Amino acid sequence: RLVEATSNQGGDRNTSTINQTNSLVLANASSSSATVTQNGDDNGSTVNQNGVALEATVIQSGDDNTALLNQTGSGNTASATQGGTLN
């Protein structure tokens, strides 16, 4: 069962939450991964994954960015990249 979560944060009032589960299928290997990188001011990020072979990437740089990624199922990939102001 390979479930990986990485969060790199730098700067001001950053928040990151990563939730990874597998309640959909019986499997010994969920193989899900989530990566969050935040730099800057009031960034926030939440990643919710439920399933098998899910990949999520959030990269935020800048001012008041917020990202929410929800994935359910198998073999899905989600990515959000934000830069600038008030995204």
Query: What pLDDT is attached to residue 27?
Result: 63
Residue 1, pLDDT above cutoff 90: no
pLDDT band at 24 (very low <50, low <70, confident <90, very high): confident
Question: What tens digit of pLDDT does each residue of 32-81 get?
Answer: 999 999 999 999 999 999 999 999 999 999 899 999 999 999 999 999 99
pTM of the model: 0.87
Residue 77 to residue 69: CA distance in whole angstroms: 10
Query: What pLDDT is attached to residue 29?
Result: 64
Query: What pLDDT is attached to residue 87?
Result: 84
